[in-house]
Amino acid sequence: MPKINIKINTVKIGKKFNILLLFTQQIYMQLLEEIDGFLKTFGDGMLKDRISYSLTRDRYDSIYYKKLNMKKIGRFLSAEKSNKYVYFHFENYDLKVEARGDGVFKFSWTDGPKLPVENIEFDDLQLHDNTVSVGNYSISLDENGLYLKDQDGKLIYQGYIPDFNEVLSQSLRIFGDDLFSGLGEKAGPINLRGHVYRLWNHDAKGSYGPDSDPLYLNIPVLLHLHDDVSYLIFFENAGDATVDIGFSREDKVTFYFKSKPMVYYVITGDIKSIYSKFSEITGKPYRPPYWAFGFQQSRYSYMSSAEVRSIVDRFNELGIPLSAIYLDIDYMDEFKVFTFNSDRFWDVKDLTKYLGERGVRLITIMEPNVKMEPGYTIYDEAVKNGYFIKYPDGNIFYAPVWPLMAAFPDFSRNDVREWWGKKYDFMKKNGVSGFWHDMNEPAIFVAWGDNSMALSAAQSNGSHSEVHNLFGYYMDKAAYDHLSKTERPFILSRSGWAGISRYAWIWTGDTETSWKEMKQNLLTILHMSASGISLTGCDIGGFVGSPDAELFIRWLQSAIFYPLFRVHSNKKSKRREPWEFGEKYLGIIRDIIKLRHSFLPQIYSEAISSSITGIPMIRPVYWYSSNPDMLLVDDEYLFGDSILVAPIFSEHSTSRIVKLPPGLWYNLYSDEKVFGEIKVEAPLNMIPIYIRSGSIIARDEGKLILHVFHSEEGESAKIYIDAGGEDSELDISVSKDGKINIHRGSSIKAVTIKFHGVYVKGITINGNTKYIEDNLFEIEEGVNELQLIFQ
Ligand code: GLC
């Protein structure tokens, strides 16, 4: 702690009290030290640090944090075309309008900190009578705001003229029975309408359940569906904001921002194309390694190499697939990032070798907080080079987290990211394969007030108040940029911002263990999808609490197609490795994990496809149906276009209703063709899964098998197959009359096909007919065409 003498100061404690400090800070600290010592037996031993930080933060913020004080917008004066763009001139601001004919619009009212979005090219706009036109769209303006319409005059979006003062507010019109989704990670219902949310990355303080807000990752992005039309609005803003979605006024959504800029995009088109276009602005998901989609086992904390070995051995003995195992904070030496505890993990290199021989990767937690300890290399280097975030007067920002007082690298700087990224080499040298970025909101242990950084702390891209929501994003970028030079990294992050999938995966953090939270996880993941985030998952079984076998199994089932498939739990939770629930359930748990592993080729292919298109993998049912009845289906999800999962979310339930999007669907287990609304039996060992007719699904069943689900119109797919870190492409189509065309990358040899829904008697290749059994046959290398012989 830097020592600062103050004789008299006014300090805010929480929002409620103002107390006059009559002591010098040193005397005050001494007193706290006494109290802290006394409390140590039952407190966390950080009382002094927590209070000292909270006081220091309040003092700095009272001096340096300034609220906005913006001029009103004033009257509209004129419109002008300048180069390709159009300016709407108001008394005090010029609104710049940029647009693309395919439905991307950008509205810039003010400048502000530079945020990580791509500069996309816009089209040449036309301006007549204060109306802008581009492609099939027009934007007009009146005293009520801006109207975006399609060529038939249908109103897609209406945004009111913003109001500027101490906050920047922008309202949007609600039309009727509208649906809203997005805002990043939200523990709300499928339709966020009627609620108020805050956009401020926030540590949920160890445990949360439905409706808790805000959580770790927030993005000012909202998908708005009304009358069959949809658009997405995305604000380039990384500061504190509140969004009122028809709560105060039924007909309006209002975003309130406490900092600049006021720049936003409106993107329209069909839903999938919206996410492709959005990803051009915020970045596409990266290509993760194949192994990352396998089953991952974690716990806070596996305490020694010996313990990790014995768990991995047990997985092996029991024949349960395991892709990775995690080390939580206790592997470190006094919670110092980039260290290993030498008593318990002295042999980490041998450990990772041992795991590697068994096909298991080691993933370690990484903290953004660097222990304040002269002599600790990471700390010393950062102090010497000025890499830590500072208060505006140049003092380093210190705050307590796991390692007690710690400092925080300014990840917004290129040089700091480069320095930090290279530190991962030490972990790699020890054989660590993946990294788990926690506490990167950043989380801070406070005595009162917001549990993050002081608003006035200065970062290279702005004050913390302006760029808070980007802290985790830039930490992820630091690791990704370095690691991706030599491999496809695995980075799991708790916090982030728009476009985070270009660097990391996101999990929903410290959820409580309960039936309702298991379902909430799905909704939160769907809101993340609606925010353009593709690589998502949750702590299977919940973080805080101990699920019984039924809840654990249902949770594992619900997550069967979540990109991240990881069990994790808190220190006090009962052990949760697959065998911990007893012999009776072990078989069921093993089968679920095996089922997941059999789908890895399909999951991987979808992830690569998502990295190309920018479209998130987990999707709500309403993407696929215009039926208003399907809008609020909140207990099912689609993985890609072809797989529908309808988990069991209620205790003691062994059946449920499944609402299927239009078309014919196949029951995964029985091949029964179903449509519409059906009732399905789902005993504890069963997850209702349906495959869309017309799709082709890749599975690993000892060898790669492509499952073709027959439809009257034929079937086709583009499948990306992992070829040792590279992707090989396979294009396959089956025409109505049974002609197969297949094109595959050179690394893909023979391909096995299994037909569903129609009896295939044989195949003809180059005039030679061969009869087959079980609808199963092989297409040998070099064969690109063949004819099916149906019954
Ligand atoms: C945070 C993380 C949790 C982790 C714990 C200890 O609460 O969200 O996953 O186990 O810290 O590191």
User: How large is the average pLDDT for residues 718-743?
Assistant: 95
- The H or E element spanning position 471 is helix 471-483
Which atom of ligand 1 has the smallest separation from the CA of 439?
Answer: 1
Model pLDDT, residue 206: 86
Both tokens of residue 464?
């913390």
Contact in structure between 203 and 401 (CB atoms under 8 Å): no
Nearest-5° Cα angle at 535, 686 to 364: 95
Start-to-end CA distance of the chain, whole Å, equals 81
| Residues 143-185 pLDDT 10s | 889 999 999 999 999 999 999 999 999 999 999 999 999 999 9
Same domain, 760 and 647: no
Residue 42 has pLDDT above 50, yes or no: no
Task: Name the closest-CA residue to atom 4, ligand 1.
Answer: 300
Q: 97 and 23, same structural domain? A: no
Residue nearest to atom 5 of ligand 1 (CA): 300
> What distance in angstroms lies between residue 495's CA and the mean position of ligand 1's atoms?
12
At residue 44 the predicted structure's pLDDT band, cuts being 50, 70 and 90, is: confident
CB 470 within 8 A of CB 412: yes
Instruction: Tell me: do 51 and 92 sit in the same domain.
Output: no
Compute the distance from residue 510 Cα to the ligand 1 centre, in Å: 7
Residues near 767 by beta carbon (within 8 Å), at least 6 away in sequence: none
DSSP one-letter string for 278-306: HHHHH-PPP---GGGGS-EE--TT--SHH
Please report, as a single letter, which amino acid is at residue 583.
E
User: 217, 247, 282 — which closes off a domain?
Assistant: 282
Cβ–Cβ < 8 Å for 765, 329: no
Helices 25-39 and 47-64 cross at an angle (nearest 10°) of: 150
Helices vs. strands in the chain: H and E counts, helices first = 13, 52
Active site residues: 438, 441, 510
Distance from residue 387's CA to the centre of ligand 1 (Å): 25
Q: How far is CA 373 from CA 347, 358, 421, in A?
A: 25, 38, 21
pLDDT tens digits along 189-202: 999 999 999 999 99
CATH number at residue 629: 2.60.40.1180
Q: One-letter amino acid identity for 448?
A: W
**Which residues constitute the domain of residue 644?**
620-692
Instruction: Please give the pLDDT value at position 411.
Output: 98
Which of 15-29, 684-698, 703-717 shows the lowest per-residue confidence on average (mean pLDDT)?
15-29
Residues 127 and 255 in one domain: yes
Alpha helices in 342-467 (DSSP H): 348-357, 377-385, 414-429, 464-467
Which two tokens mark 136?
């099939």
| Total number of domains in the chain | 4
Q: CA-CA distances (angstroms) from residue 98 to 87, 138, 215, 220, 451?
A: 9, 12, 33, 20, 38
* 25 backbone dihedrals φ, ψ, rounded to 5°: -65, -35
Q: What is the pLDDT of residue 51?
A: 94
**Structural domain includes residue 278:** yes
- Please check the confidence at residue 17 and state whether its pLDDT lies above 60: no
Residue 24 in domain: yes
Give CA separation, 325 vs 86, 311, 335, 353, 536, in Å: 54, 9, 19, 13, 18
Give the span between the Cα atoms of 171 and 73, in whole angstroms.
Answer: 14
436 CA to centre of ligand 1 in angstroms:
10
Which residues, 6 or more positions from 471, have their beta carbon under 8 angstroms from its beta carbon?
Answer: 201, 368, 408, 411, 440, 441, 442, 453, 495
Question: Residues 617-646: what's their mean pLDDT?
Answer: 95
Instruction: Using most ligand atoms within 8 A of CB, pick from 328, 401, 402, 513 the residue to mutate for ligand 1.
Output: 328
- With contact defined as beta carbons under 8 Å apart, do 253 and 222 qualify? yes
Closest CA to 373 of 420, 333, 346, 326: 333
Same domain, residue pair 89 and 203: yes
Please compute the mean of the pLDDT values over residues 84-91 and round it to a whole number: 97
CA distance 430 to 331: 13
pLDDT value for 693: 98
- Over residues 491-509, mean pLDDT: 98
Q: Do 242 and 110 reside in the same domain of the chain?
A: yes
Q: How confident is the model at residue 40 (pLDDT cuts 50, 70, 90)?
A: low
User: Is 50 exceeded by the pLDDT of residue 41?
Assistant: no
Q: What is the structure's pLDDT at 15?
A: 40
The reply to whether 292 falls in a domain is no
**pTM of this structure:** 0.95
Phi, psi of 180 (to 5 degrees): -125, 135
Residues 40 and 180 in one domain: no
The predicted pLDDT at position 332 comes to 98
Which of 436, 438, 571 is the best mutation target for the ligand 1 pocket, counting ligand atoms within 8 Å of the beta carbon and taking the most?
438
Residue nearest to atom 12 of ligand 1 (CA): 329
Cα–Cα separations (whole angstroms), residue 247 to 191, 193, 218, 220, 588: 12, 7, 19, 17, 44
* d(CA 596, ligand 1 centre) in Å: 25
Residue 150 near residue 136, CB atoms below 8 Å? yes
Q: Are 369 and 475 in contact (CB under 8 A)?
A: no
CA 34–ligand 1 middle distance (angstroms): 29
Q: How far apart are CA 761 and CA 777, in angstroms?
A: 10
Residues 205 and 168 in one domain: yes
CB atoms within 10 A of CB 116: 18
pLDDT value at residue 37: 54
Same domain, 703 and 680: no
Taking residues 76-92, report their average pLDDT: 96
- The beta strand positions in 188-251, using DSSP E, are 195-199, 218-226, 229-235, 241-245
Provide the Cα torsion 33, 34, 39, 43; round to 10°: 0
In 3D space, the residue among 120, 473, 114 whose CA is nearest the CA of residue 281 turns out to be 120
Token output for 668: 């995964």
Q: Is 550 helix (H, G, I), strand (E, B) or coil?
A: helix
Residues 727 and 710 reside in one and the same domain: yes
Check pLDDT > 70 for residue 20. no
**pLDDT at site 4:** 38
Q: Which pLDDT value is given to residue 347?
A: 97
Q: Which atom of ligand 1 is nearest to the CA of 329?
A: 12
CA angle (62, 67, 72) in 5-degree steps: 160
At 678 the three-state DSSP class reads strand
Do 183 and 271 fall into the same domain?
Answer: yes
CA distances from 724 to 88, 532, 727, 728 (A): 54, 28, 8, 10
Residue 740 lies in a domain: yes
Residue nearest to atom 3 of ligand 1 (CA): 510
Q: How far apart are CA 491 and CA 82, in angstroms?
A: 44
Q: Closest ligand 1 atom, CA of 494?
A: 8
Same domain, 207 and 84: yes
Average pLDDT of the chain is 94
Mean pLDDT of the 654-673 span: 98
**Could you report the per-residue pLDDT of 264-312, keeping only the tens digit for each?**
999 999 999 999 999 999 999 999 999 999 999 999 999 999 999 999 9
Ligand 1 pocket, mutate which of 217, 492, 493, 510 (most atoms under 8 A from CB): 510
**Ligand 1 atom nearest to 301, measured from its CA:** 10
Task: State the pLDDT at residue 18.
Answer: 40
Which pLDDT tens digit goes with each residue over 531-554?
999 999 999 999 999 999 999 999
Is 681's pLDDT higher than 50?
Answer: yes
User: Where does ligand 1 bind, in terms of residues with CB under 6 Å?
Assistant: 206, 300, 328-329, 365, 438, 494, 509-510, 543, 568
Secondary structure (DSSP) of 15-62: TTEEEEE-S-HHHHHHHHHHHHHHHTTTS-S-HHHHHHHHHHHHHHHH
- Give residue 23's pLDDT: 47
Question: Average pLDDT, stretch 373-381?
Answer: 98
* Last residue within a domain, chosen from 650, 670, 692: 692
Report if residue 182 sits inside a domain. Answer: yes
Can you give the CATH number for the domain in which 249 is found?
A: 2.60.40.1760
In a domain, 218, yes or no: yes
> Tokens standing for 500?
């985070």
Of 276 and 629, the structure prediction assigns the larger pLDDT to 276
Domain boundary among 692, 709, 731: 692
Q: Is residue 778 part of a domain?
A: yes
Residue (of 222, 241, 243) closest to 233 by Cα position: 222
Please give the pLDDT value at position 62.
97
Query: Does 419 have pLDDT greater than 50?
Result: yes
Predicted confidence at residue 492, as pLDDT, reads 99
Q: Which atom of ligand 1 is the closest one to the Cα of 571?
A: 10
Q: What is the pLDDT of residue 218?
A: 98
Condensed to tens digits (0 to 9), the pLDDT of residues 474-496 reads 999 999 999 999 999 999 999 99
Cα 677 to chain centroid distance, Å, stands at 31
Residue 172 three-state SS: strand
